[in-house]
Amino acid sequence: MKAVLILLSIAAIKYLLKIPVTEAGFKRPASKLKKGKIIFSGMAIGALATVLIFFTPAAGIALVNQLNALEFLLIVVIWSSIAEEIFIRGFIQSYLKPFEKEKVRFFNLQFSIPVITSAIVFSAIHLSLLFTGTDYFTVLFTVFTTFLLGLLAGVYREKYDSITPSIITHMSFNIGGILTGIFIAILYKIITGEFPHH
């Protein structure tokens, strides 16, 4: 499914936008990446997502909970991050690039129309979790934190004129979420003598 998303996104860039893929961010970043900041900020939002799910009635995403460590790394961290960023920050944000100078104030910060719109679309696609039997709390927290992730990834895409930093941010989000989950589970086991149930 993700392979189809990548192919359709690239086809849309070439034939709908009629621009070279390099103009859609398939190139080296315009300036040197601040990798530490990019990774840490993505991991922080991923950690927030896990904390929200763990300390509320949310049950977590069942499909993710069924994956082993290698499957999670390959499917969620790498493959899904790349596919979704090519679609959202490659195609959608490039499509909206003519509106880059138009700003929207949000949380006392200013974001361009392409950044905020791509963040909304990115978070909205996670509503599809409702069709997998995922509980409402988990969906709510996932939509909220993916919106924050979308803003961050969009800002990096715009700043560096490349999808590379947005892919790194997205991967870092997923890694931050799982590492926080492991940390909480270990701490819970030490305190209670058993592993958490979600």
Q: What is the DSSP string of 44-74?
A: HHHHHHHHHHHTSS----HHHHTS-HHHIII
What pTM does this model have? Answer: 0.92
Give the whole-angstrom CA distance, residue 154 versus residue 166.
Answer: 7
pLDDT of res. 124: 97
Q: Which long-range contacts (CB under 8 A, 24 or more apart) does 18-21 make?
A: 19/94, 21/90
- Secondary structure class of 157 (helix, strand, coil): helix
Q: Do 111 and 118 meet the contact criterion of CB atoms below 8 Å apart?
A: no
pLDDT of res. 24: 95
Q: Tokens 């988990």: give the residue.
A: 138
pLDDT digits (tens, 9 = 90+) for 127-159: 999 998 899 999 999 999 999 999 999 999 999
Residues 6+ apart with CB under 8 A from 195: 185, 188, 189
Radius of gyration of the chain measured on its C-alpha atoms: 17
Residues of the chain with pLDDT under 70: 65, 197-198
pLDDT of res. 197: 64
Give the whole-angstrom CA distance, residue 148 versus residue 94.
Answer: 19
Q: Would you report the helix, strand and coil content of the chain in percent, each value rounded to 5?
A: 75, 5, 20
pLDDT of res. 15: 94
